[in-house]
Amino acid sequence: MNTFKTGILMSLMMGLFLVVGAMIGGQNGMLFAFVLAAGLNLFAYWNSDKMLLSMFGARQVDAGSEPELYRLVEKLAGNAKLPMPKVFISENPQPNAFATGRNPEHAAVCVTTGLLAKTSKEELAGVIAHELGHVRNRDTLIMTITAVIAGAIGMLAHMAFFMGGGERRNNPLGFVGILLVTLLAPLAAMLVQAAISRSREFEADKAGAEFTGKPLWLANALAAIESSARRIDNPAADANPATAHLFIINPLHGGISGLFATHPPTEERIARLRAMAGAPAPASGPWG
């Protein structure tokens, strides 16, 4: 069901992109938008992982430099029946992690130094298993494409405003239509992107719990990471907020909640994991 929902949402995202192109220049504008989307996604398909890892100053590690981490990833990848991904560490005090790569054969898992310092081995295993869930479900490609299209929609909306709508005869709403597109199209793209991201997080949580066989490892990790992420800055993510949806926990402070949130409520994620483990909800505490 979530896969079907994701397909529908991605179709809506692409449809919105074409509508903005049509507002710029009618059929020619729509064709321009289609070609632009194809070019951007082709570039993202081949280069997004390198760009993202570079953005966060990640360094690749192996069995010689980080034997415990590497062996843990290797074991969990085996449990998930996935090829061994590349392993990276980002020098960042905020505990967090993300996965990237165009497919399971070209995947990478990146953890922060804060995550290594502030989680137990069991919690770390839960986090890595979650990221491998994204790899197995090919969310790394899905979320890259949606992020690229969402950003391009914002770019085209601004072009529509400054170009005055291109061929006015193809834009019956005139300036009012351009103004509406400029204001509403980026917001609509954010809504769709957030909805896709939230549904994929739940699926990755479920897969991660299956790979370890211990849903509470991930539940405990989510609680610990959420608590720390609220207090510890992530400067690289703050400088590149469009990447926030890739992390296991939202790395940004403040942010937009509700419909625009890129992550489901952490307490809901924990509740689902506890239900998978057959564990009762705690009598008190923030995670329910």
Is residue 68 annotated as part of the catalytic site, yes or no? no
Q: Are strands 86-90 and 97-100 parallel, antiparallel or unpaired?
A: unpaired
Are the C-beta atoms of 126 and 218 separated by less than 8 Å?
Answer: yes
Are the C-beta atoms of 273 and 259 separated by less than 8 Å?
Answer: no
58 membership: H or E segment, kind and range: strand 58-61
Q: How far apart are the first and last CA of the chain?
A: 26
Are the C-beta atoms of 248 and 132 separated by less than 8 Å?
Answer: no
Sign of CA dihedral 271, 274, 278, 283: negative
Distance separating alpha carbons of residues 214 and 65, to the nearest angstrom: 28
Catalytic residue among 66, 131, 201, 226: 131
Distance separating alpha carbons of residues 85 and 229, to the nearest angstrom: 26
Count of beta carbons in the 10 Å neighbourhood of residue 43:
12
Q: Measuring CA to CA, which residue among 75, 85, 193 is closest to residue 135?
A: 85
The set of catalytic residues is 131
